[in-house]
Amino acid sequence: MSFHPTHRSYWVYLLASGPHGTLYIGVTNSLERRLAEHKSGAADGFTKRYGVTRLVYFEEFRDVTNAISRETQLKGWLRAKKIALIQKENPLWRDLAEEWSGVVVDSSLRSE
């Protein structure tokens, strides 16, 4: 999976606290910024409370409606199906954001 946005993009992403831990599904128009928020603790709520910061899966969309529909679909899946999706693309449950350079963590950032 590669992360190279070249146009207006929307992202559905899955975070995990580990291979057998808590999962979180979100949608954003700036995956890099949103990940910085999660990793720095600037994103108050579920992910901060449960330490869910490892990016294990993401999909890119050009239309926000499609991204929101996909997020809703994934949230409706049973945990086992979500895990199978992650395992297919990222069997080692690597933090896919570790490969990105230049992620600026700024606690003043807020998601849209």
64-105 residue pLDDT tens: 999 999 999 999 999 999 999 999 999 999 999 987 754 444
Q: Among 1-5, 28-32, 92-96, which stretch is predicted with the lowest mean pLDDT? A: 1-5
User: What DSSP string describes 92-105?
Assistant: T---GGGG------
> Do residues 60 and 30 make contact, with C-beta atoms less than 8 angstroms apart?
no
Distance separating alpha carbons of residues 82 and 22, to the nearest angstrom: 11
Q: What is the pLDDT of residues 41-59, one digit of tens each?
A: 887 889 888 889 999 999 9
Domain ranges of the chain: 10-99
Cα 18 from Cα 14, distance rounded (Å): 12
Instruction: Write down the CATH superfamily of domain 10-99.
Output: GIY-YIG endonuclease (3.40.1440.10)
- Please check the confidence at residue 3 and state whether its pLDDT lies above 90: no
